[in-house]
Each structure stands twice: as C-alpha cells, then as structure tokens.
Amino acid sequence: MAEKTEKPTPKRRDEAKRKGNVARSADLNGAVVTIAGLLALSAFGPKVLNSLRESMTSGLLLIANPDVVSREGVGAVLGGAFSAVGASVAPIAAVCALAGVGINWYQVRPRLNLSLLKPDPKRIDPRNGLKTLLSPRGAFEGGKSVVKVAVVGAIAATAVLPHMSELGGVVGMPPQELLSELTSRVFEIAKRAAAAYLVIAIADYFWQRRQHEKSLRMDRHEVKEEAKSQQLPPEVRGALRRRQMEQARARMMAAVPEADVVVTNPTHFAVALRYDGTKPAPEVVAKGPDLIAFRIRRIAEEHGVPVIEDPPLARALHASVEVGQMIPEELYQAVAQLLAFVYRVAGRRAV
C-alpha cells in the first residue's frame, strides 16, 4: 500500500465534509457550554434566587389558606411554581443553548446533506460499536477521558483542600449568610474546574484536527489521478468514460463463447455463466438488459452455447451478481440444476 504523505486536496476535503467527516471535539462543546452556564448563573443568579424566594413565599401563603384544597387552588399553586421556575431557568438555558449552537457551528460549519438522513444499519450495528470500543483509538479515547477527569478533579481539590478549616466555620451561620458563603465556595470551585476543562478541551480540539488531517492524507498516485480528472474538460472525461464502458462491454462479449450456458428472461435479461472447476462456484462472465441481452443471446447461439429461459433465475442473477463475480450461495441449487440439465441434455461437460 502506498504511503499517504500528501496533503489532502480541496476536493478531498469537500467530499469528506459532505459525508459529515469533520474535525470535532465534544470536550470543547462541553467546556464552552459549562462556562456559558456559569456566566449566566453569575449574571442571573440573584434574580433567580429572588424569583424563587417570592414564588415559595406566595406558595406557602396559598397553602395556608383552607380554600387551596380545591382543584382550582392546587392548580394555582402548581401553576405559579412552574411559571416561576420556568421564568428563572429560561435565560440560563437560552445562554447555554446559544453557546452550544455557536461552538458547534464554529467547529463543523454545517452544510445541508439529506443523504446522511438515510437509514444506515451499520450505524446501529453493535458489532461495529464493539470494534470501535476495542480498537486502539477506542482505548486511547478511554484513557484520555480518565486523564481529563483526574486533572479536573485535581484542580477542584486544590480549590477545596486549602480551605477545609475555614469550611468548619460555616456551622451555626444564619441561613442567609450560609447560602451566600456556600454559593461563593461552589462558584470558586466550578470556575477553576471549568477553566481546566477549557484548557483540556482546546488541546483536544487541536488533537482532533490533527488526526482528521492525517486521515484525509493522500498518496501521490491519488493526487495525480485527481489532478488529471480536474484538468480534463467535461466532454473529454465523458468520452473517456464511454470508451472505458465500450472496452469493458467488448471484453464481456468476448467471454460469451466460453460460457457454459446463457440464462434469459427471455428477452429483457441475459446472463452468461461459466464453471471451469477452478473456482468454488460458477461465475457470471456477461450480463445485460434489452439490446445487450440480445447481443449475448446471438453470440451464444453462433458459438453453440445453450440458451435457457428461466426468468426468475435470470432476474436474480442480473440483480445480485456483477460480471466477474461468483454466484451467491442462495443461488447455488438453482444454478446447479440448470448446469446439470445443460450437461445432460445439451451434451456439454464441465471442464
């Protein structure tokens, strides 16, 4: 295999992006959303506490009223509580959502590609997931996750351990002061952990970009072939493709006289089979619909190759087997019966 040492061409990059193959760090998404959430809590936190306090006070006042036992009263209490919680959380959730969308847009630069929405059984195949998990890359990602947790945990510990003696002083504080003190401590720990997480995420982002760039590398032959295809005008490329198809069709027709039997639809499809004993199963040496099928039948008749009408088998072979391939296992019995008939009645013998 040629060594892939060349940088990817713009076409290679564009094709990878169309398939959804882009450099992306999930850690960078998580770090940015975490920091955005902390900033939102710092900005909206006092307002959220006041709103929840007012909601709790009004709820307790309503509960103290004997009339609250009715369905309408309970609905008013729950409705007020949900409204207060929703109004308090909405700004923070909106900031986190915008941060998540923004950082994803920065990394991926999304492009509409409806082909990725098509169901693909390979994506949900547990065997593929297990292979990825047990691969060297999966082991590396697992080890990287352990290191990330250890580093963030160590940073958080450095924010707590030096102040353990001071935390003992919060015992006996009034609730208002206790809440303020605990909030301050928690935010201090969260800010340090988020900063460490952001540094790790940035490093991971550049690592993912490096690995993505490495996966797109090309060998010199691929670069030359792509350059040739890009330099040729569309008319020339089309003519080359037509010539290649004509040459492949000529080689296919030249193999028909060597076939053991031609299976027909009878007019729509024709498939020429050959079994020389050197391969485990018969192979398709020629096939085609309509005019190509007519030419296959005519060449077969000119060279004494038996032409047998078997529409179901002809359709199955034409749809499932390419030229040069052996027939699939599910068609072994039908083809074996056909060849046995040809050898017996038409007087042909396997080589």
- Per-residue pLDDT tens digits for 79-94: 666 777 777 788 888 9
Pairwise CA distance, residues 73 & 71, whole Å:
5
> Residue 346, SS3?
coil
* Burial label, 194 (beta-carbon count in 10 A; 0-12, 13-18, 19+): buried
In the chain, the amino acid numbered 221 is: H
Count of residues making up the chain: 351
Q: Which domains are assigned to the chain?
A: 10-220 (no CATH), 254-345 (3.40.1690.10)
pLDDT band at 6 (very low <50, low <70, confident <90, very high): confident
Residue with tokens 């027709």: 253
Which one has a higher pLDDT value, 115 or 163? 163
Asked whether the predicted pLDDT for residue 281 surpasses 80, the reply is yes
Query: 287-330 pLDDT, tens per residue?
Result: 988 888 899 999 998 888 889 888 888 888 888 888 888 888 88
Question: Are 285 and 255 contacting, i.e. CB atoms less than 8 angstroms apart?
Answer: yes
Q: From the DSSP assignment, how many helices (H) and strands (E) are in the chain?
A: 13, 4
For position 170, what pLDDT does the model report? 58
Q: What average pLDDT does the structure give for the chain?
A: 78
Q: How far is CA 24 from the centre of its chain?
A: 12
Q: What angle do CA 153, 157, 161 make, to 5 degrees?
A: 170
